[in-house]
Structure 1
């Protein structure tokens, strides 16, 4: 990978998110009228995710008003290679772009969303929009893992906790 270039590992747009005024009404619309498959609903976060063309292809996130991470106004995720996401903190830092975790905190490594599972890193564009690099990992989803650093996922898998 060329130092400071993200494009070499970007494969396409993976996800997009919409703020919605009534999450239950929107879930019904996107599942019953649009025909998308509900991936998960996380009631305590007031969010639902739908697969678009399968879990490796894309995802739509619906966020009840005020529930989005990073005080999200606009957000999208690039579908990326695992290598790009694993190395993204160093690459972003070389570009003077701050790598961020799921809650907007500065990080030194990507995070893993256990429910998918997927490895992810966030950053902001010059207008403050939330941009994410994401790669869907092989293995069985583990919702109990939550959102933790990638190193915790690797350690968990080396222990053989869950495939």
Structure 2
């Protein structure tokens, strides 16, 4: 039945500034209306809705105001540089300082690489890529960076 996630929504305080930011991430506008602007994440498969709202200042919690964008491993390897080239600072996450990311996330026997940053309203954004799924025997420790993980696991 379910094949993927089609849409996510974020509140923004300045729609024009947000349009410029998300366009700078390489997203294409799918629709711009008086109440919402949609950007394609993957055309015809998923999009992001930006809503001008006074709720843009709602305190952050991972369950709200967070979107994770899937990226390929090769893009993840250069994400730190790519974000810097676009004037976007990587923020600390899960006890790992921004400059040491992408970091490795472990959920049971599933491993992902991720890097965290914010949009102009402080909405939490993430680039994430799966590395190993259902892999009980890999080298991992909390705070491990992608480069360390790849080397330790001979990848």
- Normalising by the residue count of structure 1, what TM-score does the alignment of the two structures yield? 0.49
Select the structure of larger CA radius of gyration. 2
Which has the higher mean CA deviation after the structures are superposed, 96-105 or 127-136?
Answer: 96-105
Question: Residue 101 of structure 2 corresponds to which residue in structure 1?
Answer: 109
Question: Residue 96 of structure 1 corresponds to which residue in structure 2?
Answer: 87
Whose helix fraction is larger, Structure 1's or Structure 2's? 1
> Does 2:99 match 1:125?
no
| Partners of 1:79 and 1:135 within 8 A in 2 | yes
For 1:83 and 1:113, locate their aligned partners in 2 and report how far apart those are by CA, in whole Å: 17
Question: Residue 77 of structure 1 corresponds to which residue in structure 2?
Answer: 68
Deviations 1:55-105 (A, max 9, x none): xxxxxxxxxxx9956xx7511101111122111110110111002342373
For 1:80 and 1:125, locate their aligned partners in 2 and report how far apart those are by CA, in whole Å: 18
For 2:90 and 2:60, locate their aligned partners in 1 and report how far apart those are by CA, in whole Å: 21
Question: Residue 152 of structure 1 corresponds to which residue in structure 2?
Answer: 148
Report the number of matched residues: 100
- Normalising by the residue count of structure 2, what TM-score does the alignment of the two structures yield? 0.51
State the SS of the aligned residue for 1:146: coil
State the SS of the aligned residue for 2:104: strand
For 2:106 and 2:121, locate their aligned partners in 1 and report how far apart those are by CA, in whole Å: 30
Which has the higher mean CA deviation after the structures are superposed, 148-157 or 133-142?
Answer: 133-142
For 1:67 and 1:124, locate their aligned partners in 2 and report how far apart those are by CA, in whole Å: 11
| Partners of 1:101 and 1:110 within 8 A in 2 | no
- After the TM superposition, list the runs of 4 or more consecutive aligned residues in structure 1 that deviate by more than 6 angstroms: none
In structure 2, the gaps of 5 or more residues are 1-23, 28-40, 47-58
State the SS of the aligned residue for 1:117: strand
